[in-house]
A and B are shown apart, each in its own frame.
Chain A
Amino acid sequence: MTSITVSDRAFWTTRRALGWVAALVLWTLLPPIAIGIVTTQLRQVYPEQNWREIGRVVALAVFTLGLAAGSWKLWRDYRRTIVIDGDEPWQQRANSKRLAVSGIWRDCMIAGFIAGIAGTVFATLPPGAPRAAVAAVTGVALCYAMVRGTVLYMRTIDEQERDANLWGGYCGMSTYAALYFAQHIAGRFGVTVSHAHDAIFLVALTVTGGVYLWKRFR
C-alpha cells in the first residue's frame, strides 16, 4: 500500500503553492514588463531598424517551423495506426472508434472547405442586404458547427487526447492573456505595433497546437 508521511505531504503542498504563485507571477507580470523594456531599448538603440518587419519574419518562421514539426510528427504517428478487423466485440469497437475519429477529421475538412467557399462568395458580394444576409447565415452556421463539432469531438476522443486538449487550451489562453497584457504595457511605453492582435492570436494558436502535439504524441 502507498504511504505518504505527513512531512512529505506538507513539503509537497507548500511546494505546489509556491509553484502556483511563481507561475502566476511569471505568466502575468514578467513577460509584459520584459517585452516592454526590451522593445523600448531596441527602438532607442537601433531606431533605423524596421522592427515590425523583423518581428513579422521571426513570427512567420517560428509558426512555419512549428507547423512543419507538428505535421511531421503527426504523419509519423498515424503511419503506425493499423486497421483492426475481426468478429470479437473489442475488435469491432476498436474499428468503429477508428472510423469515428477519422470521420471527425473528415468532417472538419469538409466544414473548412464549405467555410472557404462561403468566405469567397461573401468577399465577392457588394455591400448591402445580400451581404448582410450571407454574413448572418454564415455566422449562425459557424457557431452551430463549432459547438456541435466540439461536442462530437470531445465524445469521440479518449482521456489522453482530452488531457492534451486541456493542456493546449490552458497554455494557449495563458499565452494570449500574457501577450495581450504585454501589448497594453508596451502601448504605455509608446510602442505600438500594427496588426498586434493578429500576431498575438497567431502566437497563441501556435502555442495551443504545439502543447497539444507535445502532450499527445511525444
Chain B
Amino acid sequence: MPREEEMKNRLKVLRAERDWSQAELAGRLDVSRQAVNAIETGKYDPSLPLAFRIGRLFDQPIEEIFDDEHNGE
C-alpha cells in the first residue's frame, strides 16, 4: 500500500553547517523560531514562497533541500 507523501528536509543539516541557531535562521528567513523548528522536524511544510526563500538563502535548489520520499517511484 502506498504511503502518503511525507516531506523530509535537510534544513537542520544546512543550518548546522553554518553554525546558525534556529533563532538566527528564523531571523534570516523572516519567520518565527517555532516555524523553523516545525519545518526541521517535519511537522509543518513551508509554503512555496518560503521554500524559495530557504533555497535562495542556502544557494541550493528546493529539491536539494526538500524530499517528498517519492523520488524514483
Interface residues of chain A, those whose CB is within 8 Å of chain B, are 1-5, 7-8, 11-12, 77, 80-82, 84, 90-91, 93-95, 97, 101, 157-161, 163, 216-218
Contact = CB atoms under 8 A, between A and B. Distances in A.
A91 B27 contact: yes
Interface in B19-53: 21, 23-24, 26-28, 30-35, 38-39, 43-44, 46-47, 50
B71 A1 contact: yes
27 contacts: A1-B71, A2-B63, A2-B70, A4-B70, A5-B73, A7-B2, A8-B73, A11-B1, A12-B4, A80-B23, A80-B33, A84-B24, A90-B30, A91-B27, A93-B27, A94-B30, A97-B30, A101-B32, A157-B32, A158-B31, A159-B46, A159-B47, A159-B50, A160-B32, A160-B39, A161-B35, A163-B44
A16 B39 CA distance: 24
Interface of B: 1-2, 4-5, 21, 23-24, 26-28, 30-35, 38-39, 43-44, 46-47, 50, 63, 68, 70-73
B44 A160 contact: yes
Contacts of B30: 90, 93-94, 97, 158
Contacts of B32: 101, 157-158, 160-161
Contacts of A161: 32, 34-35
Which 3 residue pairs are nearest across A and B when measured between Cβ atoms? Answer: A94-B27, A160-B35, A158-B31
A81 B43 contact: no
SS class, residues of chain B in contact with chain A:
loop
Contacts of B47: 159
Contacts of A81: 23, 33
Contacts of B72: 3
A7 to B, nearest CB: 8
Given A12-B2, A160-B39, 19 more contacts: A1-B63, A2-B63, A3-B72, A4-B73, A7-B2, A11-B2, A80-B33, A90-B27, A90-B28, A94-B26, A95-B27, A101-B32, A157-B32, A158-B30, A158-B31, A158-B35, A159-B50, A160-B31, A160-B32
A81 B2 CA distance: 40
Contact of B68 (A2, A84, A163): A2
Contacts of A3: 70-73
A91 B20 CA distance: 13
Contacts of B35: 158-161
Contact of B27 (A5, A84, A157): A84
B32 to A, nearest CB: 5
A93 B53 CA distance: 15
Contacts of A11: 1-2
